[in-house]
């Protein structure tokens, strides 16, 4: 049988060292059946083969976002986008406009709020109650580790003071014990969000499909989904059945200190659930929070005296549970931002038998001796250089102020970890940061974001090269799950046709690099006219 689809007239970078380049490829039933010269590929085609070509096309494997939250991002992204909103007056203006749009009594929601927009003030709902108007309001900080509620939302949720949570979440209260509306970490946020309206399943599936199409349009063909449970599996199954899952999804079930033993066993029982485009044999643990609010676990306290404890009060329980999932055959990803958290995860992984198949998410603080362990232990580092967009070279941002100059110099060390020989996976953490990989490619190389005025590299970590960055979005992301990630005969037909080779372009040109064609599982998921 002849090929379903073939591409000619392109320079193809395969990311396969055995065959680095080709000039044409052919696809049948979602797999690559020919890859080489135009003549070799032409022999696999007939009159029914769909032919694609472009005079200046450069093909690469499809890009994998190695860390994102597809479903959660699609839901919170329906509210106010506070990205790059820099002061309280702008925040209030957006809240007033959204209240006018949704009407009295309805929930006003938002995301991507920058802590610096508070102008150094401690959050209190009185700062925004007037602007939020007649009804409840809640918006998420840019890192999704903190949310901010107004007085009406607190009233509806029955939040009147501090509470104890198993995952060390915090309902921030003033000196009189009254809640300010600041909710740090997941359980505290759920105390309010669980009282917000729940969209219908059809609404949510429509939002997910919209996001998938938008990601295809910027060259993404696969993601590592980092949260959820059975409801996520149900959504992936429904999207696939409807022909709308044009992404390969490596789904990580979510576990934290609040998960009881029965819940862990239920996760393990779901390990072998899978579709053509998704798997559920991975799990994500949360060990600490974030630097900006003092919930990251550090070797030494931050400049505010915070960062002293993990989100698992019982570390023996954490280690036993990690081992339980390792023994059950799971691929494990562990959120560890602070240097103490990173060290503790490496220490735990080192006790497991056999070769490591596990990873650590974020790794925002790690001294040299810790960096060297990733390659030695064969642990992958999953990192998001686009997060540099919130840091200032003069260290006037909350993240830098808490860490201090010495630790900032050696923070987010993607270049050092890569140079050590370890496997570095790149991603966005969307909706924490934009999912457009072109922005991430820029930040990984330049060590600052493309949308900032100060073009000084941040910290002393070296930037990645263009080829190293492309590897982080392709073969490195695939390697952690035992896949190739390269274009090769017999492999998945997931590829992107660019206006130029992103591995060869200067980063400034990558930001606006055209995406002409995206193919996922042999199907055209995006094409420019």
Residue of 85 and 529 predicted with greater confidence: 85
Residue-wise pLDDT for 229-262, tens only, equals 999 999 999 999 999 999 999 999 999 999 999 9
Measure the CA–CA gap between 333 and 298, rounded to whole angstroms: 19
Tokens 């549970």 belong to residue: 321
Secondary structure of residue 175 in the 3-state scheme: coil
Measure the CA–CA gap between 115 and 377, rounded to whole angstroms: 36
The tokens describing 37, both together, are: 């010269």
Residue-wise pLDDT for 41-59, tens only, equals 999 999 999 999 988 999 9
DSSP state, residue 248: E
Closest CA to 183 of 226, 145, 156, 214: 145
Band (197; pLDDT cuts 50, 70, 90): confident
- Which string of b and e fits 52-68 if b means at least 16 CB within 10 Å? bebeebbbbbbbbbbbb
Residue-wise pLDDT for 431-481, tens only, equals 999 999 999 999 999 999 888 888 888 877 899 999 999 999 999 999 998
Closest CA to 65 of 286, 402, 361, 345: 361
The predicted model gives 288-317 an average pLDDT of 95
Distance of CA 232 to the CA centre of its chain: 16
Measure the CA–CA gap between 100 and 503, rounded to whole angstroms: 46
* Paired strand residues for 5: 27, 50
Closest CA to 143 of 76, 63, 219, 209: 76
With a pLDDT cut of 90, the percent of the chain lying above it is 84
The phi and psi torsions of 350 (rounded to 5 degrees) equal -65, -20
Sorted by where each starts, the structural domains of the chain and their CATH numbers stand as 1-61+487-529 (2.30.40.10), 78-193 (3.10.310.70)
pLDDT tops 90 at residue 33: yes
With a pLDDT cut of 70, the percent of the chain lying above it is 100
Residue-wise pLDDT for 117-169, tens only, equals 998 899 999 999 999 999 999 999 888 889 999 999 999 999 999 998 888 88
Residue 186's pLDDT is 83
Residue 152's pLDDT is 94
pLDDT tops 90 at residue 405: no
Closest CA to 16 of 478, 385, 384: 478
Distance of CA 245 to the CA centre of its chain: 18
Measure the CA–CA gap between 505 and 488, rounded to whole angstroms: 24
Q: List C-alpha distances in Å: 148 to 181, 228, 332, 481.
A: 5, 22, 31, 37
Surface-to-core class of residue 419, CB atoms within 10 Å of its CB (0-12 exposed, 13-18 middle, 19+ buried): middle
Residue-wise pLDDT for 61-93, tens only, equals 999 999 999 998 898 888 899 988 989 999 999
């Amino acid at each position: 049988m002849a090929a379903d689809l073939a591409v000619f007239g392109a320079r193809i970078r395969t990311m396969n060292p055995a065959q680095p380049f080709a000039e044409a490829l052919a696809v049948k039933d979602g797999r690559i059946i020919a890859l080489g010269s135009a003549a070799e590929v032409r022999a696999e085609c007939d009159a029914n083969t769909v032919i694609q070509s472009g005079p200046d096309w450069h093909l690469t494997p499809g890009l994998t976002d190695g860390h994102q939250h597809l479903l959660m991002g699609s839901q919170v992204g329906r509210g106010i986008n506070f990205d790059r909103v820099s002061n309280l007056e702008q925040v209030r203006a957006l809240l007033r406009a959204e209240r006018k749009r949704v009407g009295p009594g309805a929930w006003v929601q938002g995301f991507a709020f920058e802590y610096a927009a508070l102008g150094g003030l401690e959050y209190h709902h009185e700062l925004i109650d007037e602007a939020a108007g007649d009804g409840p309001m809640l918006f998420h900080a840019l890192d999704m580790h903190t949310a901010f509620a107004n007085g009406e939302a607190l009233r509806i949720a029955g939040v009147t003071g501090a509470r104890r949570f198993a995952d060390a979440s915090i309902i921030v209260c003033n000196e009189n014990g009254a809640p300010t509306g600041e909710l740090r970490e997941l359980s505290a946020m759920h105390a309010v969000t669980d009282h917000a309206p729940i969209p219908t399943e059809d609404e949510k599936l429509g939002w997910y499909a919209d996001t998938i199409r938008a990601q295809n349009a910027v060259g993404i063909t696969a993601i590592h989904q980092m949260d959820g449970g059975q409801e996520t599996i149900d959504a992936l199954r429904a999207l696939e059945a409807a022909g709308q899952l044009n992404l390969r999804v490596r789904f990580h079930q979510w576990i934290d200190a609040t998960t009881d033993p029965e819940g862990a066993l239920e996760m393990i029982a779901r390990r072998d659930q899978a579709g053509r485009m998704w798997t559920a044999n991975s799990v994500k643990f949360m060990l600490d929070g974030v630097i900006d609010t003092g919930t990251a676990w550090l070797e030494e306290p931050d400049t505010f005296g915070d960062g002293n404890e993990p989100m698992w009060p019982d570390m023996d329980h954490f280690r036993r549970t990690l081992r339980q999932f390792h023994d059950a055959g799971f691929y494990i990803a562990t959120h560890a931002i602070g240097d103490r958290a990173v060290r503790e995860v490496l220490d735990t992984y080192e006790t497991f038998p056999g070769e490591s198949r596990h990873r650590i998410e974020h790794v925002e603080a790690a001294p040299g001796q810790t960096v060297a362990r990733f390659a030695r232990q064969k642990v992958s580092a999953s990192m998001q250089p686009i997060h540099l967009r919130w840091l200032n070279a003069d260290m006037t941002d909350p993240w830098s102020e808490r860490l201090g100059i010495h630790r900032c110099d050696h923070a987010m060390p993607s270049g050092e970890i890569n140079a050590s020989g370890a496997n570095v996976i790149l991603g966005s953490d969307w909706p924490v940061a934009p999912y457009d990989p072109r922005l991430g490619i820029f930040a990984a190389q330049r060590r600052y974001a493309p949308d900032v005025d100060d073009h000084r590299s941040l910290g002393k970590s070296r930037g990645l090269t263009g080829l190293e960055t492309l590897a982080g979005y392709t073969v490195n992301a695939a390697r952690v799950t035992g896949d190739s990630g390269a274009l090769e005969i017999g492999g998945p037909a997931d590829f992107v046709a660019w206006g130029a080779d992103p591995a060869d372009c200067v980063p400034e040109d990558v930001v606006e690099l055209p995406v002409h064609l995206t193919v996922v599982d042999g199907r055209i998921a995006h094409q420019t006219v």
